Amino acid sequence: MIEFKDVGVRRDGRELFSGASFQLHPNQKIGLTGNNGTGKSTLFALLLTRMGTGDTEVTVDRGEVTIPDSWQVAHMAQEVGASAQTAIDYVLSGDEQWYKINAALSNLSTVSDDQIGVLHQQFDEIDGYRTPTKAAQIMSGLGFSTVQHELPVDSFSGGWRMRLNLAKTLMSRADLMLLDEPTNHLDLDAILWLETWINAFTGLVIVISHDQAFLDNTIGHILHVEQQKITMYTGNYQQFIRTRHERMAQQQQAFEKQEATKAHLDDFIRRFRAKASKAKQAQSRIKQLERMSELSPMMADNPFSFQFYEPANMSSPLIELTHADIGYTDTPLLYNANVQVTPDTRIGLLGMNGAGKSTLIKALVGELGVLSGTYRVSDTLKLGYFNQHQMDALDAAASPLQMMRRLAGKTSDAELRSFLGSFDFRGERIDTPSELFSGGERARLTLALIVWQRPNVLVLDEPTNHLDLQMRQALTMALQGFEGAVVLVSHDRELIANVCDELYLVHDGQIEEFDGDISDYGKWLSDKRKETNSSDKGSDKKGKNKKAKKKFVNKENVSRETDVKNSSSQPDNLTHTKKKLANPKSDTNTTASSSLTKEEQRKLAADQRKLTAPVRREIEDTEKALVKIDDKLASLEVKLADTDLYEESRKADLIRLLDEQTALQQQHSDNEESLLMAMTTLEEMETDFS
């Protein structure tokens, strides 16, 4: 285990934490939380320093940190440099042990004779033959297509390089895994996959994340850094909030703030609940009211307090796509899209990576013209559009106050400073050029500029990517109070669940309303993955089964080949019989199988045996072949155990036996797969008869 005893750390003359005492055990999943600047990254750097890795050295001013000497650590860095290395090789390099052994075995001229056998044994012990498959599975889970595996790292954008870096980290055989904002560049599909992976990981995981749902679904403890103290809480993030709430010294302040907000929400609900045009917004307030007890503890000391202004003018519909084909050049990605945005619209867009969510967003805001159909907007439309491009387009040389001044006309500096303060731009940060801002600060500034312009439609494409938990909660509250329409794409499930009244699914070129909530979407994704994996395996099985059958025919005697041919050259009796059995209703002259006479049943059974005979023989022969291979492998293991074999004079014999062992292991794997394919084929045939 890792143990901190009364640890204190200072950096740049500032005390980050003191008196830190806690224990971390194998297989624990820990969430590391705290406001920006409290020392979360420093704690990571301290662990890395103690384990002999990391770029920044952090020392302990007092106390003691104990870590087992044998432990290995994997750390997800925040930057990935350009490299000509292929993506799959980059990911495989995360398994340093495999990568080193594989490199040596790929170039035996660099290996001493007495190490060859040792390397093969080590490779077998770490299950090295399956490691490339593991890497491919991780890349698939994080959204990479098979084609992308062979592309060079430097051909990927920054966000996709971060995914590669995460994949490389997950490949490590580490005892301790440190993940710093692993979900920042992931879509919802990849986040759900990552949750499953972390839950299955047998080592200790410490994760910094601003995704509340991700923390709730993966971690069992919270390390919270606050006011130079590190406190260990048991439970997920929701439990941490409740426990921390009980410990908060200024409970009365939180209570008074909450009561005032409740009164405001109650008043709105009372006035507009029965009004049809405001019904959905009233429901949003009810949802917000129900969650107040969970949100208020974090809001009590939240530096963000902004809200959206009431839109000046609105008509309905504000945006309308009708029978629209949407895509790039002349190739539609989405077909026959029908989307109507009215003043009370609150749509959350769901869909797998690459399904077309961002393409639909671009069409709704007018960045991408429709290929066919119609696109109309109201004269009263005032759009507030947030995406990564808007953040990147900020004037790097201008400060928040200067950018606000360009929009605000004659508004006083005092009012602008107060407004920016609600987004936590205070003091010198108000006059700091945006080029010096972090990603989170640029995102907050972009939102501030949007809020000031009083939009009546908000189109938000991943607005929370760079926001911390408190800003996410403030944004959730503000969106729930927004009087206009919202169209949202986000991997933040809490935001979608608390803001959106309707969910639309973008899938297979179509857009349709999703019947369910965000939890149901997770189940839908899981089912789709299973279908895809099953389909891929099925296609692979058919191809390999045909290949196996071809080998079987070529290698075995002519009489068996004749049997196979005969069984497939009788379309007038056996094939017709199989069709009748598979679908007896298709032949109006055929009675139900239960009414067949005993003679007819015997004949059908005989036909079935004839049809399945080749496959049954293939299964039998493959099983026999596996027994023979097992015997040969056992014999080889005895020979390889002979110490004399590793003498210099017998180098050629050793290499020959190792090559033979590798070939037999591959044959064993191929035969096992062929056996599985044949058994699957037999099962399918027997099902057709039933």
- pLDDT at position 43 over 90: yes
**In terms of domains, do 463 and 432 share one?**
yes
The pLDDT value given to residue 30? 96
Same domain, 449 and 575: no
Radius of gyration of the chain from its Cα atoms, rounded to whole angstroms = 32
Per-residue confidence (pLDDT) for residue 580, from 0 to 100: 35
User: Which whole number is the average pLDDT over 483-505?
Assistant: 91
* CA–CA distances in Å: residue 424 to residues 300, 302, 470, 557: 15, 9, 11, 82
Q: Give the whole-angstrom CA distance, residue 214 versus residue 187.
A: 12
DSSP letter at 517 equals: -
Q: What is the mean pLDDT of residues 295-303?
A: 52
User: What contacts 591, CB < 8 A, 6 or more positions away?
Assistant: none
Residues 614-636 pLDDT 10s: 888 888 888 888 888 888 888 88
Please say which residue of 488, 515, 542 terminates a domain: 515
Q: How far apart are CA 1 and CA 679, in angstroms?
A: 47
Q: Which of 172, 207, 229 finishes a domain?
A: 172
Identity (one letter) of the amino acid at 625? Answer: A
Helix, strand or coil for residue 76?
coil
**Residue 690 above 90 pLDDT?**
no
Task: Average the pLDDT over 171-196 and give the result.
Answer: 91
pLDDT bracket for residue 565 (50, 70, 90) = very low
Least confident of 63-72, 556-565, 655-664: 556-565
Share above pLDDT 70 across residues of the chain, in percent, rounded to a whole number: 80
Distance CA 425, CA 421 (A): 5
CATH number for the domain harbouring residue 339: 3.40.50.300
Determine, yes or no, domain membership for 69.
no
pLDDT beyond 50 at 17: yes
Amino acid letter, 293: S
pLDDT at 572: 38
pLDDT tens track for 114-156: 778 788 888 888 888 889 989 999 998 998 888 899 999 988 8
**φ, ψ for residue 134 (rounded to 5)?**
-60, -45
Q: Which residues contact 78 (CB under 8 A, 6 or more apart)?
A: 162, 180, 181
Is the predicted pLDDT of residue 504 greater than 90, yes or no? Answer: yes
Question: How far apart are the C-alpha atoms of 49 and 38, rounded to whole Å?
Answer: 19
Q: How far apart are alpha carbons 408 and 98 in whole angstroms?
A: 60
Q: Cα 430 vs. chain centroid, distance in angstroms?
A: 36
Range from 31-45, 180-194, 450-464 that averages highest in pLDDT = 450-464
- Residues 502 and 546 both lie in one domain: no
Q: How far apart are CA 226 and CA 223, in angstroms?
A: 10
% of the chain residues with pLDDT over 90:
35
Are residues 385 and 420 both part of a single domain? yes
- The reported pLDDT for the residue numbered 470 is 82
510 and 542 fall within a common domain: no
As a residue count, the chain comes to 690
pTM of model > 0.95: no
Q: Average model confidence (pLDDT) for the chain? A: 80
* Bond from prior residue into 132 cis (ω within 30 degrees of 0): no
Q: What is the pLDDT at residue 106? A: 79
Highest mean pLDDT among 167-171, 259-263, 677-681: 167-171
Pair 511, 551 in one domain: no
What's residue 86's pLDDT? 93
Contact 164, 85 (CB under 8 A): no
Structure token pair of residue 421: 């303060």
Mean pLDDT within 654-679? 77
Q: Which of 113, 142, 172 is the last residue of a domain?
A: 172
Whether 231 is in a domain gets the answer no
437 Cβ contact partners less than 8 Å away, ≥ 6 residues apart: 445
pLDDT of res. 566? 36
Mark 263-272 as b/e (b = at least 16 C-beta within 10 Å).
Answer: eebeebbeee
38 domain residue, yes or no: no
Tokens of 22: 């806690």
At position 346, the amino acid (one-letter code) is R
Which residues span the domain enclosing 279?
A: 262-300
Residue 251 — pLDDT band, cuts 50, 70, 90? low
Distance CA 68, CA 52 (A): 12
Cα 677 from Cα 674, distance rounded (Å)? 5
Q: How far from chain centre, in Å, is Cα 68? A: 31
**352 & 456 share domain:** yes
Residue 408 domain-assigned (yes or no): yes
Q: Tell me the C-alpha distance between 74 and 205, whole Å.
A: 10
Specify whether 547 is located in the same domain as 509.
no
Place of tokens 């087992």: 68
Alpha helices in 641-650 (DSSP H): none
Answer with the residue of higher pLDDT: 678 or 20. 20
Cα of first residue to Cα of last residue in the chain, in angstroms, is 57
Confidence band of 278 (pLDDT split at 50, 70, 90): low
Residue type, 334: L
Q: Nearest 10 degrees: CA dihedral of 168, 169, 172, 175?
A: 180
Q: How far apart are CA 459 and CA 311, in angstroms?
A: 15
Q: Verify that 422 and 275 share a domain, yes or no.
A: no
- Examine residue 405 and state whether it is found in any structural domain, yes or no: yes
Q: Which residues contact 231 (CB under 8 A, 6 or more apart)?
A: 223, 224
Question: Are residues 510 and 531 located together in one domain of the fold?
Answer: no
Residues 615 and 589 in one domain: yes
Task: For residues 286 and 269, give the distance between their C-alpha atoms in angstroms, rounded to a whole number.
Answer: 7
Q: For the residues of 136-194, what is the DSSP string, one character each?
A: HHHHHHTT--GGGGGSBGGGS-HHHHHHHHHHHHHTS--SEEEEESTTTT--HHHHHHH
CA angle 105/548/565 to nearest 5° reads 160
Pairing of strands 62-66, 2-11: antiparallel
Q: What is the mean pLDDT of residues 553-578?
A: 34
Report if residue 253 sits inside a domain.
no
Contact in structure between 382 and 359 (CB atoms under 8 Å): no
Q: What is the pLDDT of residue 541?
A: 46
DSSP lists the bridge partners of residue 324 as 337
Asked if residue 278 and residue 418 are part of one domain, the reply reads no
Residue 604 included in any domain: yes
- The reply to whether 153 falls in a domain is yes
pLDDT for the residue 253: 61
Give 566-600 pLDDT, tens digit per residue.
333 333 333 333 333 334 333 434 444 445 666 66
Q: How many CB atoms lie within 10 A of CB 211?
A: 26
pLDDT of 371-422, one tens digit each? 999 999 999 999 999 988 888 889 999 999 999 999 988 899 899 999 999 8
How many domains does the structure of the chain reveal? 4
